[in-house]
């Protein structure tokens, strides 16, 4: 697996980050209610009960896919530490790494690993040392409108036909993709170019060297906008993280991909083609010098909290052995990435890569 990408610079990136922070309140409230129903306050880690309250500011930016997990952790942490200010944005994985490697944020949410060739050198140039921590699994879900009565499954080859650059302006109806589908307009919805989901999808589905798809589609870095688009368009097909399907299953219809639907079991096992790990990246400098960061990350990754945060956000928990290795990565302060320049985990799988990194 390889996750290759590029970044945008300047004011445009900053404006997208600012916009992403305006779109979280309803999701935060819903997650807080779910977590409260599952057992109220979550002690665990420093600042999670007992001892003095934590104050300070933590800036977190990155993946809109990972954002619900981190936002839930932030809200629970602040219930016990109301003087802590934690800003969680969802402008996209690439934008998140850009801010993180410039030292503007303390934690970066990511739906793909950091780019060894392009992003790691920027971190190094700016003296940003980091710990890479897998926190959950996701399965990018292919969805259509609930009123769609013709599509129940799709193949990876058919998705490529829809999304490859050569389809732009040419593949415009459902019947062009599969002959027994109706001659109706094909409306496509997907993440923008700074999204790790965009990059992962294009690597595995489109498969061209540039890892880009057609540009004549409805794009947004905010998955909630994509959900609304597909829900309101009977001719729509879109893709985004599994959580956003599960949270909106009343208005969306999930398609099988190559005969497999994303479920907790197929995502965790990797049977589902578009399964992937989700990460947080933590600055070691922030752990030492920002008095709020260590207590918050301790709280986030504690055995008591992580799985229920992931479940409340409707993603897939890590297997216990991988979860232990991930937690050890943080506790041992093991720095750097366990992925190669080609985007493969060293040693062949993520758990092995984490073990070998020590």
Summarised one tens digit per residue, pLDDT across range 60-87 is 999 999 999 999 999 999 999 999 999 9
Architecture of domain 141-261: 3-Layer(aba) Sandwich (3.40)
Cα(156)–Cα(40) distance, integer angstroms: 42
Report pLDDT for 210. 73
Residue 173 clears pLDDT 90, i.e. is over it? yes
Band of pLDDT at residue 30, cut at 50, 70 and 90 = low
Q: Could you tell me which of 240, 243, 245 has the C-alpha nearest to residue 311?
A: 243
Summarised one tens digit per residue, pLDDT across range 248-266 is 999 999 999 999 999 999 9
CB atoms within 10 A of CB 38: 11
Band of pLDDT at residue 32, cut at 50, 70 and 90 = low
Summarised one tens digit per residue, pLDDT across range 202-251 is 999 998 767 789 999 999 988 999 999 999 999 999 999 999 999 999 99
**177 contacts: CB under 8 Å, gap ≥ 6:** 158, 161, 162, 171, 186
For 49-70, what is the mean pLDDT? 87
What is the CATH topology of the domain spanning 11-137+277-356?
D-Maltodextrin-Binding Protein; domain 2 (3.40.190)
Helices 25-37 and 67-80 meet at what angle, rounded to 10?
A: 70
Cα(203)–Cα(343) distance, integer angstroms: 11
| Terminal CA-CA length for the chain | 22
Mean pLDDT across the chain: 88
Residue 38 clears pLDDT 70, i.e. is over it? no
Say whether 141-261 and 11-137+277-356 share the same fold. yes
Query: What is the value of pTM for the model shown?
Result: 0.86
Report pLDDT for 358. 79
Cα(274)–Cα(291) distance, integer angstroms: 38
Band of pLDDT at residue 343, cut at 50, 70 and 90 = confident
Whether the Cβ atoms of residue 247 and residue 314 lie closer than 8 Å to each other? yes
Strands ordered across the beta sheet of 107-110: 84-88, 56-62, 107-110, 275-283, 130-139
Residue 52 clears pLDDT 90, i.e. is over it? no
Band of pLDDT at residue 20, cut at 50, 70 and 90 = very low
Report pLDDT for 34. 53
Report pLDDT for 53. 83
Residue 10 clears pLDDT 50, i.e. is over it? no
Summarised one tens digit per residue, pLDDT across range 107-127 is 999 999 999 999 999 999 999
344-353: Cβ within 8 A, 24+ apart:
344/1, 344/2, 350/134, 350/277, 350/322, 351/319, 351/321, 351/322, 351/325
Cα(80)–Cα(62) distance, integer angstroms: 25
Domain ranges of the chain: 11-137+277-356, 141-261
């Amino acid at each position: 697996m390889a996750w290759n990408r590029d970044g945008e610079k300047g004011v445009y990136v900053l404006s997208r980050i600012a916009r992403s922070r305006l779109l979280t309140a309803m999701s935060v409230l819903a997650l807080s209610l779910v977590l409260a129903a599952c057992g109220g306050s979550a002690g665990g880690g420093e600042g999670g009960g007992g001892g003095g309250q934590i104050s300070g500011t933590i800036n977190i930016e990155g993946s809109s896919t990972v954002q619900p997990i981190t936002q839930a952790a932030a809200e629970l942490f602040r219930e016990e530490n109301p003087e802590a200010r934690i800003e969680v944005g969802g402008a996209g994985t690439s934008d998140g790494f850009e801010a993180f490697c410039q030292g503007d944020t303390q934690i970066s949410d990511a739906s793909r690993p950091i780019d060894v060739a392009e992003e790691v050198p920027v971190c190094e140039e700016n003296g940003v040392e980091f710990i890479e921590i897998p926190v959950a699994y996701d399965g990018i879900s292919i969805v259509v409108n609930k009123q769609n009565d013709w599509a129940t499954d799709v193949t990876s080859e058919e998705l490529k036909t829809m999304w490859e650059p050569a389809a732009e302006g040419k593949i415009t109806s459902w019947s062009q993709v599969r002959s027994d589908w109706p001659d109706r307009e094909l409306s496509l919805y997907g993440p923008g170019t700074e999204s790790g989901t965009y990059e992962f999808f294009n690597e595995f589905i489109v498969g061209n060297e540039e890892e880009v798809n057609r540009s004549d589609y409805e794009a947004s870095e905010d998955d909630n906008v994509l959900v609304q688009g597909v829900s309101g368009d009977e001719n729509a097909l879109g893709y985004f993280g599994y959580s956003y399907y599960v949270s909106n299953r009343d208005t969306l219809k999930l398609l099988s991909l190559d005969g497999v639907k994303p479920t907790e079991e197929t995502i965790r096992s990797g049977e589902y083609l578009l399964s992937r790990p989700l990460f947080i990246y933590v600055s070691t400098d922030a752990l030492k010098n920002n008095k709020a960061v260590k207590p918050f990350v301790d709280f986030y990754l504690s055995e008591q909290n992580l799985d229920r945060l992931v479940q409340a956000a409707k993603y897939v928990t890590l297997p216990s052995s991988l979860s232990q290795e991930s937690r050890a990565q943080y506790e041992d302060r093991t720095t750097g990435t366990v992925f190669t320049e080609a985007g493969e985990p060293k040693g062949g799988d993520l758990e092995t890569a984490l073990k070998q990194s020590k």
